[in-house]
Amino acid sequence: MIMDSILFIINPIAGNGRAKSLISIIKSTMEENKKKYDISITHAPKEAIKIAKEGISKGHKIIVAVGGDGTINEVATGIMRGGKGILGIIPGGTGNDLARTLKIPENPREALRLILIGNSKKIDTCFVNNNLFLNIASIGLDSEVIKNIWEIRSRINGRISYVIGFIRTLLSYKYKILEIEIDNMHLNEEVILAAIGNGKYYGGGMKICPSAIIEDGYFNVCVIRRINIVKLFLVFPSIFWGEHIKFRKYVNIYKGKEIKIKGLERLWLNIDGELKEIGEEASFTINNKGLNVVCE
């Protein structure tokens, strides 16, 4: 029965090849445990959506994303389009931020153990203008950093591109004037960034929405207002520990179900780690417990 067979979808470029290197561990663990499985390797962005949806229609119950947040997002999209199924995760990306929120172990054997046990829980699913996200969508400084890194990477590769991208963004960053609507509350702010979180972490462990709960049906919205560059260098590193919320003069956390953000120009959003141009208005909705995910 294909229902008993677990489908693993591997993104070969995730984590600079880390996900691909996990194939042998997956095979040996499944064989040792006499479990049926299939492995599918993606060849291009978005292909995981199609593979996951087909996997559901063929009867796979558990579909495992082997990669980072981008791969998980695509596999989840495919599962949801298939109308049923359970998402499994083996962290194989660079940041693995959603896995961090869900407390899925980084160690692939441990993550596989959870998949073999097969316990699951329902988590919230979020949309921004029809784009699914499970973790965080944000506007502002962080999206600009990603955009700058892309540009720099066409000339310089490796870790140094991140450092240059980050510093270049900080030095040249223009604040965004945003109209933010959280349920019935209206804000008109000059912001460094606004992050709309279902999960807590992004950017490889930055705890931007420390009080977000992934199954409570609410968004946590972190707004960091305009501050001078010296204070920015103080506030920004504190995000790694979720300590930025102490800077109440500049940082506010809100909770809500329906969020709307309007900008003066077209908005670039960082959606589960992928950059996307979204238009002048972004509209966020959340479905309580919309997706089944393998967990502890």
Ligand X SMILES: Nc1ncnc2c1ncn2[C@@H]1O[C@H](COP(=O)(O)OP(=O)(O)OP(=O)(O)O)[C@@H](O)[C@H]1O
- CB closer to ligand X out of 105 and 232: 105
| 71 near ligand X (CB under 6 A) | yes
Q: Of 34, 114, 35, 120, which Cα lies nearest the Cα of 85? A: 120
Q: According to the binding rule CB under 6 A, does residue 290 interact with ligand X?
A: no
| Contact call for residue 104 and ligand X (CB under 6 A) | no
Q: Answer yes or no whether residue 78 interacts with ligand X by CB under 6 A.
A: no
Q: What are phi and psi of 9, to 5 degrees?
A: -110, 115
Residue 67 sits in the site that holds ligand X (CB under 6 A): yes
Tell me the two tokens of residue 90: 């083996």
Specify the stretch interacting with ligand X by CB under 6 A; choose among 88-96, 122-130, 227-235, 250-258.
Answer: 88-96
Report the DSSP pairing between strands 86-91 and 62-67.
parallel
CB within 8 A of 244, min separation 6: which ones?
208, 222, 224, 235, 236, 238, 251
Residues 270-289 touching ligand X, rule: CB under 6 A, are 273-274
Q: Which is nearer to ligand X, 14 or 123 (CB)?
A: 14
Stretch that binds ligand X, among 9-17, 149-157, 160-168, 261-269 (CB under 6 A): 9-17
Rule CB under 6 A: choose which of 40, 62, 69, 206 binds ligand X: 69
**How big is the chain, counted in residues?**
296
CB of 42 to ligand X, least distance (A): 4
If one asks whether residue 96 binds ligand X (CB under 6 A), the answer comes out as: yes
> By CB under 6 A, is residue 43 in contact with ligand X?
yes
Q: Which is nearer to ligand X, 176 or 198 (CB)?
A: 198
Residue 68 interacts with ligand X (CB under 6 A)? Answer: yes
Residue 152 backbone phi and psi in degrees, to 5? -65, -35
d(CA 41, CA 39): 7
Q: How far is it, in rounded angstroms, from Cα 213 to Cα 106?
A: 20
State yes or no: residue 40 binds ligand X (CB under 6 A).
Answer: no
Buried/exposed 237-249: b ≥16 CB within 10 Å, e otherwise: ebbeebebbebee
Structure tokens at 14: 């995730």
Please tell me whether residue 95 binds ligand X under the rule CB under 6 A: yes
Q: From the list 8, 37, 40, 42, which residue makes contact with ligand X (rule: CB under 6 A)?
A: 42
15 touches ligand X (CB under 6 A) = yes
Q: Which residues contact ligand X (rule: CB under 6 A)?
A: 11-15, 42-46, 67-71, 74, 93-96, 273-274
